[in-house]
Structure 1
Amino acid sequence: MATERTPGGRQLVVHDFWAAEARDADAMLAFLGRHHGRIPTVLFERTGLPPGPLLQQRLTGAGIQAARSWHPWMLRVLDPARAIELRGWPEHLDDEIVLDLATPDGTSRHTLSIAGGRAQLTPGGARSSVDAADVTLTAGQFAVWYAGGYRSPAAAALAGLHGDSTALTRLLAATVDREPWLADYF
Structure 2
Amino acid sequence: MDIRDLTPEDLDDVLDLRKRSFGPLSADDRERWRKAVLPALGEGRYLGVFDGTRLAAAARLRRFTQWWHGRPQPMAGVAGVTVGPEDRGRGVGSRIMRAVIGRAGELGDAVSALYPATTAIYRGVGFEHAGALNNVRLPAESLRAIRPSGQVKLRRMGPGDAAELMSVLHRVHGEARSSGPVSWDEDTWNLWLANEDDFLYLADDGYAIYRWKGDDMEVENVVAASPETLRALWSMIGSASTIAHEVVASVAPDDPVLWLLRERTKERVQQVRWMFRVLDVAAAVERRGYPEQAACEAVVTVDDPVRGGGTWRLDISGGSGTATPVEEPGVTLSVNGFSALYAGIPTRTLRLAGLMSGHDRHDQALDAAFAAKPYMLDYF
Asked if the contact 1:102–1:138 (Cα under 8 Å) also holds between the matched residues in 2, the reply is yes
Tell me which residue corresponds to 2:342: 146
> Which residue of 167, 172, 180 corresponds with 2:367?
172
Cα separation, 1, equivalents of 2:309 and 2:264: 51
Q: One-letter code of the match for 2:290?
A: W
Tell me which residue corresponds to 2:319: 117
Residue 166 (structure 1) shift? 2.2
Asked if the contact 2:293–2:318 (Cα under 8 Å) also holds between the matched residues in 1, the reply is yes
Residue 111 (structure 1) shift? 0.4
Residue 112 (structure 1) shift? 0.4
Tell me which residue corresponds to 1:85: 286
Residue 184 (structure 1) shift? 4.9
Asked if the contact 1:112–1:120 (Cα under 8 Å) also holds between the matched residues in 2, the reply is yes
From the CA coordinates, give the structure whose radius of gyration is larger.
2
Tell me which residue corresponds to 1:102: 303
Q: Determine what percentage of the aligned residue pairs are the same residue.
A: 34
Q: CA RMSD in A?
A: 3.2
> Which residue of 266, 274, 287 corresponds with 1:73?
274
Q: One-letter code of the match for 2:352?
A: L
What are the Cα deviations for residues 57-111 of structure 1, in whole angstroms up to 9, with x where unaligned? xxxxxxxxxxx7x552111111121111111111112321000110228751110
Q: One-letter code of the match for 1:138?
A: S
Listed as ranges, the gaps of 5+ residues in structure 1 are: 16-37, 45-67
Asked if the contact 1:73–1:185 (Cα under 8 Å) also holds between the matched residues in 2, the reply is no
Judging changes above 3 Å, is the alpha-carbon distance between structure 1 residues 154 and 95 closer, same or farther for their aligned structure 2 residues?
Answer: closer
Judging changes above 3 Å, is the alpha-carbon distance between structure 1 residues 144 and 110 closer, same or farther for their aligned structure 2 residues?
Answer: same
Cα separation, 1, equivalents of 2:359 and 2:295: 18
Residue 185 (structure 1) shift? 3.9
Cα separation, 2, equivalents of 1:78 and 1:118: 19
Judging changes above 3 Å, is the alpha-carbon distance between structure 1 residues 41 and 76 closer, same or farther for their aligned structure 2 residues?
Answer: same
Secondary structure in 1 matching 2:278: coil
Larger RCO (CA under 8 A, 6+ residues apart): 2
Q: How many corresponding residue pairs?
A: 126
Cα separation, 2, equivalents of 1:118 and 1:181: 21
Secondary structure in 1 matching 2:273: coil
Judging changes above 3 Å, is the alpha-carbon distance between structure 1 residues 167 and 43 closer, same or farther for their aligned structure 2 residues?
Answer: farther
Tell me which residue corresponds to 1:163: 358
What are the Cα deviations for residues 28-59 of structure 1, in whole angstroms up to 9, with x where unaligned? xxxxxxxxxx5452468xxxxxxxxxxxxxxx
TM-score by length of 2: 0.29
Cα separation, 2, equivalents of 1:170 and 1:110: 16
Listed as ranges, the gaps of 5+ residues in structure 2 are: 1-135, 144-252, 255-262
Cα separation, 1, equivalents of 2:369 and 2:293: 10
Cα separation, 1, equivalents of 2:333 and 2:363: 11
Asked if the contact 2:315–2:322 (Cα under 8 Å) also holds between the matched residues in 1, the reply is yes
TM-score by length of 1: 0.56
